[in-house]
Structure 1
């Protein structure tokens, strides 16, 4: 029950698609994504024979420690051998959390709150924006460049879900 006492909120990660993922089988791959943070480990479904898979899966992490690293790893599903790793990326949620702490309200839908540029400290492939989507919600779309891979990117979106009665975020 300790986890529930320390629960600050939930982080919804929409794993949208993979782009130009590495080939691990003869001509293609059967990719899936695993997101890990602390002892939490969530995975998408496997997409057969596709190096440009469309997952559109939603994974939800319980947020108890905002400093825990969050990794996204792409694997190729194999039937008779261990699944092959296709690359890894780190999800940096700090810029998103900074925007959440601003306590914004009543902005026009689609307002860009912050732009995050790719650099050595993140796995972004392109500029990422934190955007107001109305009803007190912010989302951040990211295209993450996979590390330790000859090619591949994964497009995700993150969104904070506040939990009534949880340990107040940002207080």
Structure 2
């Protein structure tokens, strides 16, 4: 039964040439401190297949940032996961990696 529902979902996804994913990036909680001051300057990147789709604003000196950003991501291939990575902005230096997550779009319901 699971295989049949997976097949139906994949078939539905293949019927469309293009998708849009509406995202509401709300906040981060208890992020790790990456700066000597004991805080971080976090921002979030959304990528698919190494290509940047969206970058949030940077919230300075905050381990519990509130972005409250809503945006739409163009999805050309729903079978490729979205990589979500959080970084600490460092002026003039390489930004520090803070954490990551992946979104498997095949698990979402169309139109929801």
TM-score interval (norm. to shorter): 0.7 to 0.9
TM-score by length of 1: 0.52
Give the Å deviation of 1:64. 1.4
CA–CA distance in structure 2, aligned partners of residues 50 and 87 of structure 1:
15
Aligned match of 1:87 in 96, 99, 103?
99
Deviation sequence 1:57-92 (CA, Å, 0-9, x none): 123221111111211000001112111010111112
1:27-63 Cα offsets, whole Å, 9 max, x none, are: 1000000000133431100001101100011232211
Partner secondary structure for residue 107 of structure 2: helix
2:82 to 58, 70, 89: 70
The one of 1, 4, 21 aligned to 2:31: 21
Higher percent of residues as helix:
2
Which residue is 2:72 aligned to? 60
Q: Measure, in 1, the Cα distance between the counterparts of 2:74 and 2:40.
A: 30
Q: How many angstroms apart in 2 are the aligned matches of 1:52 and 1:46?
A: 12
Match of 2:45 in 1: 34
Structure 1: which 5+ residue stretches go unaligned? 1-5, 101-136, 139-171
Question: Which segments of structure 1 move beyond 3 Å, counting only runs of 4 or more?
Answer: none
